[in-house]
């Protein structure tokens, strides 16, 4: 398993980690299999989406902040309930297919770490399973 260190800079942001994830997959020298990309944080997530146009990330952050506002009638005392909700909506992991030793992503797809309670230091685990 490879652990990626991520430093977020904003309270809510999507960070493109495609290059790091693909490098972690290549390091394992697995021809065919799966790669699980997982974050062990309850206020963060992992997603796959377009990484060609940075406006997509901007639009996603704007939309999720509109859907789950930072302030509402939340009862969680830490004050980060919105981050927990966003994390659950996106999910803590994504699974990538590995073929010919490479993570299989579409032409415009990238892997993103989703920060919902930043800025802070975070981790992403990449576990490769295969032959």
> Is the N-terminal amide bond of 119 cis, ω within 30° of 0?
yes
Provide the pLDDT for residue 112.
Answer: 98
Region for residue 91 given its phi and psi (left: phi exceeds 0; alpha: psi -120 to 50; beta: otherwise) = left
Q: Domain residues of the chain, as ranges?
A: 2-130
Residues 6+ apart with CB under 8 A from 119: 7, 8, 9, 10, 11
HSE-CB at 14 with a 13 A cutoff on CA atoms is 26
pLDDT reading at 5 higher than 90:
yes
pLDDT band at 41 (very low <50, low <70, confident <90, very high): very high
Q: Are 1 and 111 in contact (CB under 8 A)?
A: no
**CATH architecture observed for domain 2-130:** Sandwich (2.60)
Quote the pLDDT of residue 117. 98
* Residue 41 CB partners (closer than 8 Å, separation 6+): 87, 92, 122, 123
**What share of the chain has pLDDT > 70, as a percent?**
100
pLDDT category of residue 51 using cuts at 50, 70 and 90: very high
Residue of 116, 121, 93, 119 whose CA lies nearest to 21? 93
Q: What is the pTM of this model?
A: 0.96
pLDDT exceeding 90 applies to what percent of the chain?
A: 92
| pLDDT tens string 91-127 | 999 999 999 999 999 999 999 999 999 999 999 999 9
pLDDT digits 0-9 by tens, 70-97: 888 998 988 899 999 999 999 999 999 9
């Amino acid at each position: 398993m490879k652990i990626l260190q991520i430093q977020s800079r904003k309270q809510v942001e999507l960070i493109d980690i495609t290059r790091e994830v693909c490098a972690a997959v290549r390091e394992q020298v697995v021809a065919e299999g799966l790669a699980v990309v997982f974050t062990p944080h309850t206020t963060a997530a992992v997603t796959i989406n377009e990484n060609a146009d940075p406006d997509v990330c901007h639009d996603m952050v704007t939309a999720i902040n509109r859907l789950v506002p930072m302030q509402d009638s939340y009862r969680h005392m830490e004050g980060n309930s919105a981050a927990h909700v966003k994390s659950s909506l996106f999910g803590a992991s994504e699974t990538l297919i590995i073929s010919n030793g490479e993570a299989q992503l579409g032409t415009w797809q990238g892997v993103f770490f989703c920060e919902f309670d930043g800025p802070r230091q975070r981790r992403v685990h990449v576990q490769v399973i295969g032959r």
